[in-house]
Amino acid sequence: MHELIAERAVAVPDALAVVAGGEALSYGGLMGRANRLAHYLRSVGVGSESVVALCLPRGIDMIVAMVGVWQAGGAYLPLDPEYPVERLGFMLRDSRATVLVGTEDLVDELPVGRLRTVVVDDVMVSSVLAGLPSSAPDVRTRSGQLAYVVYTSGSTGRPKGVQVTHGGLVHYVVGVGERVGWGGVGGRFGLLQPVVTDLGNTVVFGCLVSGGVLHVVDADVAVDGRGVARYVRESGIDFVKVVPSHLAALVAGCGGEFGPLVPRRTLVLGGEGASAGWLRALVEAAEGRVVVNHYGPTETTVGVIAGELVEGSGGLADGVVGLGRPLGHARVYVLDGFLNPVPVGVVGELFVAGPQVARGYVGRAGLTGERFVADPFAGGGGRMYRTGDRVRRLVDGRLEFVGRADGQIKVRGYRIEPGEVEAALLGHALVASAVVTASGVGAERRLVAYVVPSDGETGIPAVGELRGFLGDRLPEYMVPSVFVELSELPLTANGKLDHAA
């Protein structure tokens, strides 16, 4: 991926690459800074398969660091400074990161232990970086080499790190660019998400490999409907990707209007589903600008299926929201419990095969073997990923999402395993048992925790105490909005938890 970006820098070195926080950086400047960091990282031992953690503010430094790690031959691990220290410490240990790149104020808060740190705003480090070559180190990257590790919620009570390869990422970026029509030197891409999840990778790398201009929208603007509309209009943004519930919240803050939030050329929706009625209103308001539905779990490298939403056909025919078609060389199967294809119209589990399938989970051989299974339809010994999503194939070839085969839920585009939140709750001395679920739709969707106290007379702790307790252990999006006290959890006749109660 970084080699494609470097090619752009050679072709158009003075062209604008990144705009963020009132700063701007050209392609030549981006690669020059990335290469200096790469030389520094090489000097402290970074090489092939080395994991380098990045804890940096939203903006140019983060983009430079991501490319710089690749130029050094390593793989990056993005860390959100807003996450609880305990969770960040787990990610550093679990990922086997060897180096941490960050700013002084952020690094000081982390449990780095013996981890080598590179504090980019330290005067001495800055001086050393300035004296290093702006040319690329002599490093060769293989297709199967690790590109990045990104963590998702885990059902066992701890997050799991997904390992994505360079080859998988290149296949994704090329495939999605061709499908949604992104590209062209000078195209303006608006990034509304932090890069600690892979949702924004569509925008970041789709922009940089095509010679576009990446606009990293300030965090406070990205959640303000009128602020985003103003930025899209004044900066002439062509391409945006957004989670439907995020867009719904922006629309509410923009007087209920979709139109001002739609970029000039293409809007991509990803991370979660949306109702056909809501999507029809969006497509109508887009007035000919392209709206794309994009599906895929992190384990298939950002996304693997995409299709344009057009009223009366394709993605919105007959009131059904179609997921689209596989990207590039990806293959999708709808299978039963015995891994046999199911007939058209019959619900089965969606499996994904092809070059975008991730390597697996860091240090979780058992879970990797469970979710990444042999592909019986490929002769070359390939693998396919068991998504856990239940779908049906329609007569016209479209795929329709039906639901989950397990308890995983999504809130505002984030994958959440209820078991991880429940495990954190059970860590409180006054909680005997707990069940977490989701309620509501779109921007109103939220987590609800049903809690049984250890002492029925004392009851559960105050909501503020529970939220604070969980906030020290989980990201904000995994902390329930509502806590309901129960004397006991409802059970079925055979003693299992009754989720329908």
Summarize the confidence of residues 55-78 as an average pLDDT: 97
CA atoms of 175 and 183, how far apart (whole Å): 12
pLDDT above 60 for 497: no
In this predicted structure, which of 201-210, 218-227, 274-283 has the lowest mean pLDDT? Answer: 274-283
Q: Which residue has the higher pLDDT, 128 or 394?
A: 128
Residue 123: its H or E element? helix 123-130
- β-pairing, 431-439 vs 414-416, is unpaired
Cβ contact 241:217 at 8 Å:
no
**Span 34-48, pLDDT tens digits:** 999 999 999 999 999
**What's the pLDDT at 166?**
97
Summarize the confidence of residues 278-307 as an average pLDDT: 93
pLDDT above 80 for 21: yes
Torsion of Cα atoms, 188 then 194 then 200 then 205, to 10°: 60
CA atoms of 399 and 339, how far apart (whole Å): 18
The domain over range 417-485 is classified in CATH as 3.30.300.30: yes
Compute and round to an integer the Cα radius of gyration of the chain. Answer: 23
In this predicted structure, which of 90-94, 272-276, 337-341, 345-349 has the lowest mean pLDDT? Answer: 272-276
In this predicted structure, which of 120-129, 192-201, 491-500 has the lowest mean pLDDT? Answer: 491-500
Q: What number of CA atoms fall less than 13 Å from residue 190's CA on the CB side?
A: 30
**What's the pLDDT at 493?**
46
Confidence bin at 498 (pLDDT 50/70/90): low
In degrees rounded to 5, what are phi and psi of residue 337? -65, -15
**What's the pLDDT at 104?**
93
What is the percentage of the chain residues whose pLDDT exceeds 90? Answer: 68
In this predicted structure, which of 114-123, 147-156, 365-374 has the lowest mean pLDDT? Answer: 147-156
Which segment, 68-82, 373-387, 451-465, is predicted with the most confidence on average? 68-82
CA atoms of 217 and 202, how far apart (whole Å): 15
Alpha helices in 154-275 (DSSP H): 166-180, 201-208, 219-222, 225-235, 244-252
Would you report the helix, strand and coil content of the chain in percent, each value rounded to 5? 30, 30, 40
Domain coordinates in residue numbering, the chain: 1-141, 417-485
pLDDT above 60 for 149: yes
**Span 304-351, pLDDT tens digits:** 999 999 876 656 766 678 888 899 999 999 999 999 999 988 889 999
**What's the pLDDT at 241?**
96
The DSSP 8-state label assigned to residue 393 in this structure reads E
CA atoms of 46 and 468, how far apart (whole Å): 37
User: For the domain 1-141, what is the CATH code?
Assistant: 3.40.50.980
Torsion of Cα atoms, 261 then 262 then 263 then 267, to 10°: 130
**What's the pLDDT at 313?**
60
**Residue 496 burial class via C-beta count within 10 angstroms: exposed 0-12, middle 13-18, buried 19 and up:** exposed
pLDDT above 80 for 143: yes
Mean of per-residue pLDDT scores for the chain: 91
Summarize the confidence of residues 472-497 as an average pLDDT: 79
Strands (E) located in 58-139: 75-78, 99-102, 116-119
Cβ contact 325:180 at 8 Å:
no
Cβ contact 387:351 at 8 Å:
yes
**Span 250-271, pLDDT tens digits:** 999 999 999 999 999 999 999 8
- Closest-CA residue to 69 (of 104, 118, 108): 118
pLDDT above 60 for 415: yes
- Closest-CA residue to 351 (of 290, 393, 414, 395): 393
Summarize the confidence of residues 291-303 as an average pLDDT: 94
The DSSP string of 400-429 is: EEEEESSS-EEETTEEE-HHHHHHHHTTST
Q: How many residues does the chain have?
A: 501
**What's the pLDDT at 398?**
81
Which segment, 112-116, 295-299, 402-406, 450-454, is predicted with the most confidence on average? 295-299
Confidence bin at 298 (pLDDT 50/70/90): very high
Helices 244-252 & 276-286, crossing angle to 10 degrees? 60
